[in-house]
């Protein structure tokens, strides 16, 4: 994420211009010269309002980045998040900047939960882990993160839940639900290839219009085809019980992608050794090499 989005740089003046021209033309066509003058004013006003809105976003981001990253947050991440700990200083700086932009703009709401700074950091860290290697990526499809007090059932019940088998859920319209105890546990056990935050944000990445297809977004043509073949092969291996991935990944391609993402960041060394092709595909896709970062800090399998 950048302080000023590339699209804002050209979109604001362009949209303002279009708005002025359209206002003038519509006003002129309907009411002649006085209409054109009125339309010019209305169009100009609308264009100005839009440009203001977009520049306000840039200002919010600049403000979020203007002060040093809070030392308390950094200490918390170092203690709590293995993926942050394994990052070299330049990656950490990018991670911290993206984290602050995410927190300045995204809505995180507690449902029977007190949303602390620490919880907000865990949510943001989950999202930013996936996107930190993509400097211009925006989580535009995210509308809100809801934090639940515990795992929930298919009717989103926490209390009196009949079968609370859900730690998280992602809706195609952009809402993510996370169970707080499961989110905490995801960070506490850094190498069990279970991470509900990474899992749900991987689904959100994968939202294409209104469905999940399990093909990492941005891949098309031959690359998408190669992924589909690799996924089919790995899902078969999962069904035979010979995989590093959580077995839930064999359910369908969308779950395979989400579980592969969890394993990539949590069981990086094992994934590289036992699923070299899958590891390489995800490394190239995310632009991050967590197993190499583990090598650098002297970890061995």
Instruction: Please give the residue ranges that form the binding site for Zn ion (CB under 5 A).
Output: 255, 258
Nearest CA-CA partner of 153 in 142, 164, 143, 144: 164
Nearest CA-CA partner of 120 in 22, 90, 220, 128: 128
Nearer to Zn ion, 255 or 294 (CB): 255
Nearer to Zn ion, 16 or 258 (CB): 258
Residue by residue, DSSP assigns 88-149 as -HHHHHHHHHHHHHHHHH--EEEESS---HHHHHHHHHHHHHHHTT-TT---TT--EEEEES
Nearer to Zn ion, 89 or 211 (CB): 211
Nearer to Zn ion, 92 or 195 (CB): 195
User: Least CB distance from residue 82 to Zn ion, whole Å?
Assistant: 22
User: Least CB distance from residue 190 to Zn ion, whole Å?
Assistant: 20
- What's the length of the chain? 301
Nearer to Zn ion, 171 or 237 (CB): 171
Are 95 and 128 within 8 A, CB to CB? yes
Residue nearest to Zn ion (CB): 258
User: Least CB distance from residue 264 to Zn ion, whole Å?
Assistant: 15
Return the H-helix or E-strand segment holding 188: helix 180-188
**Residue 182 φ/ψ, nearest 5 degrees:** -70, -35
User: Least CB distance from residue 258 to Zn ion, whole Å?
Assistant: 5
User: Least CB distance from residue 27 to Zn ion, whole Å?
Assistant: 51
């Amino acid at each position: 994420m950048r302080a000023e989005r590339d699209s804002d740089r050209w979109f604001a003046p362009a949209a303002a211009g279009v708005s002025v021209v359209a206002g003038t033309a519509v006003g002129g066509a309907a009411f002649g010269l006085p209409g054109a003058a009125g339309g010019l004013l209305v169009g100009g006003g609308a264009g100005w309002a839009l440009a203001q809105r977009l520049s306000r976003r840039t200002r919010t981001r600049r403000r979020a980045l203007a002060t040093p990253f809070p030392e308390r947050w950094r200490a918390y991440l170092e203690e709590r998040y293995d993926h942050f700990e394994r990052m070299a200083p330049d990656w950490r700086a990018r991670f911290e900047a993206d984290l602050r932009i995410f927190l300045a703009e995204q809505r995180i709401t507690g449902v029977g939960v007190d949303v602390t700074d620490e919880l907000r950091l865990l949510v943001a860290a989950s999202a930013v882990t996936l996107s930190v290697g993509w400097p211009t990526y925006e989580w535009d499809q995210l509308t809100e993160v809801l934090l639940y007090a515990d795992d929930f059932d298919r009717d989103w019940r926490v209390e009196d839940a009949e079968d609370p088998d859900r730690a998280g859920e992602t809706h195609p319209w952009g809402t993510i639900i996370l169970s707080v105890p499961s989110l905490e546990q995801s960070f506490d056990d850094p190498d069990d290839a279970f991470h509900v935050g990474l899992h749900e944000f991987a689904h959100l990445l994968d939202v294409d219009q209104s469905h999940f297809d399990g093909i990492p977004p941005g891949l098309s043509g031959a690359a998408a085809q190669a992924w589909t073949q690799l996924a089919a092969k790995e899902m078969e291996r999962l069904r035979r019980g010979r995989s590093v991935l959580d077995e839930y990944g064999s359910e369908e391609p969308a779950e395979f992608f989400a579980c592969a993402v969890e394993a990539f960041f949590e069981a990086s060394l094992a994934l590289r050794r036992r699923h070299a092709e899958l590891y390489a595909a995800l490394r190239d896709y995310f632009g991050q090499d967590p197993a190499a970062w583990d090598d650098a800090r002297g970890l061995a399998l």
